[in-house]
């Protein structure tokens, strides 16, 4: 846990699986402010290991979006796809401790479980069918699709969220063993890659991140990540899980709500100050969505003022910042 003598080390971790939208911008701005207002460090990491879903050019676009907002970061950008050997080392360690087992349940299960579980219903419980296997039981799996599942404790770990307060881990029977690695064999090729849950822990630990700010759709991932931290003897960061931005129908921001991509706002002449004003308003730091720059926001930043309910992005609010489509 972070103590006041250690600088805050935060991070921004866009996935180039699509364009960054207003909701992502809000999280990045808050993550940046939560570190910079305490003279902390911010890393930028591109989480591009979810290869079937990666969109070409979305990484460059994400960097442009952040720069447009005025967000900066320290050190070089870390790109997950360049770090596979580190994730492999972690997997080998988990195998050596019998903390993972090979699972041959269907390809769709494997694919679903390997992405950051943002979508409703994507995070399905695994009933432990393959839990009898040993990590050494892989000889007959060479040409098969399979994944490595982490053996979870029956009781999920508790943690204190710096925004939401104490989160008490559930008691689950059977334990919800989750995917840390997947291997998919097509006729000609073999795709072998770590899951979000494993890669994010290895990289946050590698970058000495001690403050993770992200959307609360990932709050159910945190107990899993805490289990990985513990099993690898790594120190877990503080977590700040923020309510999402939703559309007028109260569902998470998506295409059906119109084009809220930052690139689209930019193309329509919306200034970053306008969007920052909207974000500040959504956080309870401004009474109206009036333009403001990032530097000015450092004097207004207050985590405690952020409402603990999703922020409803209405067309009227978008119009107010000059985005009328
Ligand atoms: N790359 C993840 C995403 O965009 C973020 C994961 C995290 O913040 O832990 O969904
Ligand atoms: Zn299985």
CA angle (203 as vertex; 199, 205 as ends), nearest 5: 120
Mean pLDDT of all residues in 19-40: 97
pLDDT at 166: 98
Mean pLDDT of all residues in 19-44: 97
Taking the centre of ligand 1 as the mean of its atom positions, its distance from the CA of residue 315, in whole angstroms, is 27
Q: How far apart are CA 171 and CA 156, in angstroms?
A: 6
Q: How confident is the model at residue 112 (pLDDT cuts 50, 70, 90)?
A: low
Task: Give 291-324 pLDDT, tens digit per residue.
Answer: 999 999 999 999 999 999 999 999 999 999 999 8
pLDDT at 204: 98
pLDDT at 323: 94
Mean pLDDT of all residues in 103-114: 70
Taking the centre of ligand 1 as the mean of its atom positions, its distance from the CA of residue 231, in whole angstroms, is 21
- Judged against a pLDDT cut of 70, whether residue 3 lies above it is answered with no
What residues does each domain of the chain span? 9-82+243-320, 98-196
Identify the architecture of domain 98-196 in CATH: Alpha-Beta Complex (3.90)
| Rg of the chain over all Cα atoms, to the nearest angstrom | 20
pTM: 0.93
pLDDT at 101: 96
- Judged against a pLDDT cut of 80, whether residue 289 lies above it is answered with yes
The ligand placed nearest to the CA atom of residue 141 is 2
Please give the CATH superfamily to which domain 9-82+243-320 belongs: HUPs (3.40.50.620)
**Buried/exposed 246-268: b ≥16 CB within 10 Å, e otherwise:** bbeeeebbeeebeebbbebbbee
The two beta strands, 9-12 and 41-46, are: parallel
Q: How far apart are CA 75 and CA 130, in angstroms?
A: 42
Taking the centre of ligand 1 as the mean of its atom positions, its distance from the CA of residue 116, in whole angstroms, is 7
The two beta strands, 178-185 and 165-167, are: unpaired
Q: Which residue has the higher pLDDT, 175 or 272?
A: 272
pLDDT at 269: 95
Mean pLDDT of all residues in 73-77: 97
pLDDT at 109: 61
- Judged against a pLDDT cut of 90, whether residue 107 lies above it is answered with no
Pocket test for ligand 1, best of 15, 55, 161, 225 (most atoms within 8 A of CB): 15
C-beta 13 within 6 A of ligand 1: yes
Task: Give 176-234 pLDDT, tens digit per residue.
Answer: 899 999 988 777 777 889 999 999 999 999 999 999 999 999 999 999 999 999 999 99
Pocket test for ligand 1, best of 11, 12, 13 (most atoms within 8 A of CB): 13
Least confident of 164-168, 209-213, 248-252, 264-268: 248-252
9-82+243-320 and 98-196 share one fold: no
* Phi, psi (rounded to 5 degrees) for 273: -60, -35
Residue nearest to atom 1 of ligand 1 (CA): 15
């Amino acid at each position: 846990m972070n103590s006041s003598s250690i600088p805050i080390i935060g991070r921004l971790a866009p996935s180039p699986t699509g364009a960054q939208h207003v909701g992502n911008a809000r999280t990045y701005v808050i993550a940046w402010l939560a570190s910079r207002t305490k003279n902390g460090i911010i890393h930028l990491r591109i989480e591009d290991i979810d290869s079937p879903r990666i969109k070409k050019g979305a990484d460059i676009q994400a960097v442009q979006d952040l720069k447009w907002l005025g967000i900066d970061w320290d050190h070089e950008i870390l790109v997950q796809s360049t770090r596979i050997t580190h994730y492999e080392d972690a997997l080998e360690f988990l195998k050596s401790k019998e903390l993972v087992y090979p699972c041959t349940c269907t390809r769709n299960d494997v694919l679903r479980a390997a992405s950051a579980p943002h979508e409703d219903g994507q995070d399905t419980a695994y009933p432990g069918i393959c839990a009898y296997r040993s990590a050494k039981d892989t000889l007959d799996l060479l040409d098969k699709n399979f994944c490595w599942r982490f053996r979870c404790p029956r009781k999920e770990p508790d943690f204190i969220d710096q925004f939401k307060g104490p989160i008490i881990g559930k008691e689950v029977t059977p334990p919800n063993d989750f995917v840390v690695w997947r291997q998919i064999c097509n006729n000609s090729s073999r795709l072998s890659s770590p899951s979000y849950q494993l890669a994010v822990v290895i990289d946050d630990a590698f970058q000495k991140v001690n403050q993770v700010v992200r959307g609360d759709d990932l709050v159910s991932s945190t107990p899993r990540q805490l289990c990985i931290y513990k099993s690898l003897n790594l120190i877990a960061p503080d977590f700040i899980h923020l309510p999402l931005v939703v559309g007028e129908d109260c569902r998470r921001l998506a295409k059906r709500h119109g084009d809220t991509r930052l690139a689209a706002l930019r193309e329509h002449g919306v200034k970053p100050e306008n969007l920052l004003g909207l974000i500040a308003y959504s956080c309870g730091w401004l009474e109206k969505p009036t333009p403001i720059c990032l530097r000015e926001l450092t004097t207004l930043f207050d985590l405690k003022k952020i409402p603990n309910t999703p922020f409803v992005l209405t067309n009227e609010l978008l119009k107010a910042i000059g985005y009328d489509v």
